Amino acid sequence: ISSTRSLAAQQVQGKPGLKESQSFNSVFLKTHKTGSSTVQNILFRAAERRNLTVAFPLYSYQFAYPQRFSRAFVDDLPAGAAHFNLLCSHMRLDVGEAQALMPAHSIFLTILRHPVQTFESVFHYYRNMVPAFQALSNHSEPLLAFLEASAEFYDATDSSNGLARNPMAFDLGLNASQEEGPSGQWMKELERLNRTFQLVMIAEHFDESLLLARELLGLEMEELVYVRLNVRHKEKAAMSKGLAQKIQAWNWFDVQLYRFFHTVFWHKVERYGYMRMKQELDAFRALLRETATGCLAGDPVGPEALTDDLRPWQPGSVTILGYSLKQNLTYAQYSSCFRMVLPEIPIRLIRVARSTGLTGLLLF
């Protein structure tokens, strides 16, 4: 921890720094199990580079989830800062509260992933935590068992079950526990969200999404480099069609949400220009390969092979992989590679940073 602290301090003192005009104000609604930690990590690094002020949760790493977001859940504005620039930790969205906290015209972003993959990931990650899933933790086919008898396990009135049905819609503040009603009802909600969010990224088109975000936030391509964070070790082969259908039927609102914003996304790509997108993708993917070769010791590995700083939090029900860095990196290389592989929840670092007054020097 102390080496991290001094690294951050040295970087702040020694880095070239970007002009004030290159700052941005943004709300990134961090949906669960959609690749959102990878996006958040990119935003944290961009914010640090520009010396921007991040709105951190008062306690823990999320904003009193699953309660609806409130300004009361945010830690104080640091002395000397005029306003927050970035809000990007897990929350259940309340648009009005987020707008009231952030400067006018802040850019709203979020990310959606295919509902089948999202729910599968949510289910296994939160199997021991979400009440609706807990009774199934020792079952041999827990996901199938849940979907076949959901009424037995799912209590819609318990907000701790928010992730147990339509988790993306829940995070976006929609009423996600209900049965599917007439399309007129939920279409209004989706259109309202479409007016709030300048960009809804799609995890299956992650690189294209980042290029669109780059334009909105005024980032440089070099700032988009990433490695996939929070990857789950998967033992089983592809899931059956039947199970995928059951997941979609249960998560009907997430299916509509994803379909709607998938279409919106491709309209945005069209407006951006297919040729331009293709050329930039080629350059970006070359940069990603170069970065991985330059930083990483190898493929993602289990927690036992990682140092404390770089070990992602383990939920117990599944193994979450992380990255070891190459040996013999220069100081500058280490500094940027370290930030790119740092997991979402190094709560220790937040606490140390706060207790030593170094919040402005540390990302987390």
Ligand X SMILES: Nc1ncnc2c1ncn2[C@@H]1O[C@H](COP(=O)(O)OS(=O)(=O)O)[C@@H](OP(=O)(O)O)[C@H]1O
Of 231 and 255, nearer to ligand X (C-beta) is 231
With left for phi above 0 and alpha for psi between -120 and 50, is residue 17 left, alpha or beta? left
Residues binding ligand X: number (CB under 6 A): 17
Check binding of 34 to ligand X (CB under 6 A). Answer: yes
Q: By C-beta, is 189 or 344 nearer to ligand X? A: 344
- DSSP tag of 57: B
Long-range contacts of 219-223 (CB under 8 A, 24+ apart): 219/24, 219/46, 221/280, 221/283, 221/284, 221/287, 222/287, 223/42, 223/45, 223/46, 223/49
DSSP track, 279-297: HHHHHHHHHHHHHHHHHBS
Q: Does 37 bind ligand X (CB under 6 A)?
A: yes
Give the rounded distance of the alpha carbon of 184 from its chain centre.
30
Query: Token pair of 299, please?
Result: 């493929």
Residue 106 is a binding residue for ligand X (CB under 6 A): no
Q: With respect to ligand X, which residue has the nearer C-beta, 121 or 186?
A: 121
> Interface with ligand X includes 35 (CB under 6 A)?
yes
32 contributes a contact to ligand X by CB under 6 A: yes
Q: Which is nearer to ligand X, 89 or 359 (CB)?
A: 89
Q: Which is nearer to ligand X, 131 or 315 (CB)?
A: 315
Binding region for ligand X (CB under 6 A) out of 6-14, 31-39, 245-253, 255-263? 31-39
Give the nearest residue (CB) to ligand X: 37
Q: Which stretch binds ligand X (CB under 6 A): 29-37, 146-154, 180-188, 253-261?
A: 29-37
Residue 148 makes CB contacts below 8 A (sequence gap 6+) with 246
Instruction: Establish if 45 lies at the interface with ligand X (CB under 6 A).
Output: no
Measured from the CB of residue 283, what is the shortest distance to ligand X in angstroms?
18
Q: Give the whole-angstrom CA distance, residue 246 versus residue 309.
A: 39
Residues 176-215, mask of contacts with ligand X (x by CB under 6 A): ---------------------------x--x---------
Non-local (6+) Cβ contacts of 128 within 8 A are 134, 137, 315, 316, 317
Alpha helices (H) along the chain: 2-14, 36-49, 95-101, 115-125, 131-134, 142-148, 150-153, 167-171, 183-196, 206-217, 241-250, 252-272, 274-295, 331-341, 347-355
* Cβ distance to ligand X smaller for residue 287 or 358: 287
Residues 218-247 that bind ligand X (CB under 6 A): 228-232
Nearest approach in angstroms of CB 61 to ligand X is 9
Out of 26, 121, 166, 177, the only residue in the binding site for ligand X (CB under 6 A) is 121
**Binding test (CB under 6 A) with ligand X, winner from 27, 33, 133, 136:** 33
Contact characters 332-351, ligand X, x per CB under 6 A = ------------x-------
Judged by CB under 6 A, the chain residues 281 through 310 that form the site for ligand X are none
Looking at residues 68 to 97 of the shown chain, list those that interact with ligand X (rule: CB under 6 A): none
Output the smallest distance, CB 296 to ligand X, in A.
15
Rounded least distance, CB 38 to ligand X, Å: 4
DSSP 8-class letter at 322: B
* Token pair listed for 227: 């490695």
Provide the minimum distance between the beta carbon of 312 and ligand X in the complex, in angstroms, as a whole number.
9
How far is residue 64's CA from residue 321's CA, in Å, rounded to a whole number? 26
Residues in Cβ contact with 237 at an 8 Å cutoff, skipping those fewer than 6 apart: none
To the nearest 5 percent, what fractions of the chain are helix, strand and coil? 50, 10, 40
Q: How far is the CB of 32 from ligand X (least distance, A)?
A: 4
Neighbouring C-alpha atoms within 13 Å toward the C-beta of 68: 10
169 binds ligand X (CB under 6 A): no
CA angle in degrees (0–180, nearest 5) for 46-115-298: 50
Give the residues lining the site for ligand X (CB under 6 A).
32-38, 117, 121, 203, 206, 228-232, 344
